Amino acid sequence: MGGAPIDGAQLTVTDGVNLGEQVRTDAAGRYSFTSLEGGRFTVTIAAPGFLSVTPVVDLFTDLEVNFALHNAQ
């Protein structure tokens, strides 16, 4: 069950070789890290009014990953 895209959600790599890399989602809820090195790392995804999530990503080739945030009610 999908919700509306979130404009301006911040994605931050919180460990590993890509530590500190950040991007924000656009009006369509899309994002793109342009130059990450492959490996396993954690990404924190946060937006005002939503619960943050911290998925672990295994990046070994170009990868498309979708995430869902839930209202912080």
DSSP string, 6-68: -TT-EEEE-SSTTTT-EEE--TTS----SSPPSEEEEEEEE-TTB--B--EEEESS-------
For residue 39, the one-letter residue type is G
**pLDDT tens digits, the chain, 73 residues: what are they?**
468 999 999 999 999 999 999 999 999 999 999 889 999 999 999 999 999 999 999 998 767 888 899 998 7
pLDDT in the model for residue 53: 96
pLDDT in the model for residue 2: 62
pLDDT in the model for residue 54: 96
- The pTM assigned to this predicted structure is 0.89
CA 53 from centroid of its chain's CA atoms: 8
The tokens for 2 are: 């999908």
- Does residue 3 contact residue 68 with C-beta atoms inside 8 Å? yes
pLDDT in the model for residue 73: 79
Q: What are the residue ranges spanned by the domains of the chain?
A: 10-59
